[in-house]
A and B are shown apart, each in its own frame.
Chain A
Amino acid sequence: DIQMTQSPSSLSASVGDRVTITCRASQGIGNDLGWYQQKPGKAPKRLIYGASSLQSGVPSRFSGSGSGTEFTLTISSLQPEDFAIYYCLQHNDYPRTFGQGTKVEIK
Chain B
Amino acid sequence: EVQLVESGGGLVKPGGSLRLSCAASGFTFSSYSMNWVRQAPGKGLEWVSSISSSNGYVHYADSVKGRFTISRDNAKNSLYLQMNSLRVEDTAVYYCARERILLFDPWGQGTLVTVSS
A98/B46 in contact, CB under 8 A = yes
From the candidates A43, A49, A95, name the one contacting B103 in the complex (CB within 8 A). A49
Q: Contacts A43-B95, A43-B108, A43-B109 given; indicate if A96 touches B47 (C-beta within 8 A).
A: yes
> Is B59 at the interface (CB under 8 A from chain A)?
yes
The interface stretch among A16-24, A76-84, A86-94 is A86-94
> Is A50 at the interface (CB under 8 A from chain B)?
yes
A46/B50 in contact, CB under 8 A = no
Mask, B39-55, CB within 8 Å of A = 1, is 00000111100100000
Mask, A44-65, CB within 8 Å of B = 1, is 1110011000010000000000
Interface residues contributed by chain A, number (CB under 8 Å): 25
From the candidates A1, A34, A94, A100, name the one contacting B104 in the complex (CB within 8 A). A34
A34/B45 in contact, CB under 8 A = no
List B contacts of A87 (CB < 8 A).
Answer: 44-45
A95/B109 in contact, CB under 8 A = no
> Is B88 at the interface (CB under 8 A from chain A)?
no
From the candidates B47, B104, B105, name the one contacting A97 in the complex (CB within 8 A). B47
- Nearest Cβ in chain A — how far from B98, in angstroms? 10
Within 8 A of B (CB), among A21-39: 31-34, 36, 38
List A contacts of B106 (CB < 8 A).
Answer: 43, 46
Closest to B45 in A: A98
14 contacts between A and B (CB under 8 A): A34-B104, A43-B107, A43-B110, A44-B95, A46-B106, A49-B103, A89-B47, A89-B104, A91-B99, A91-B103, A94-B59, A96-B50, A99-B44, A100-B44
Which B residues are closer than 8 A to A by beta carbons? 35, 37, 44-47, 50, 59-62, 95, 99-110
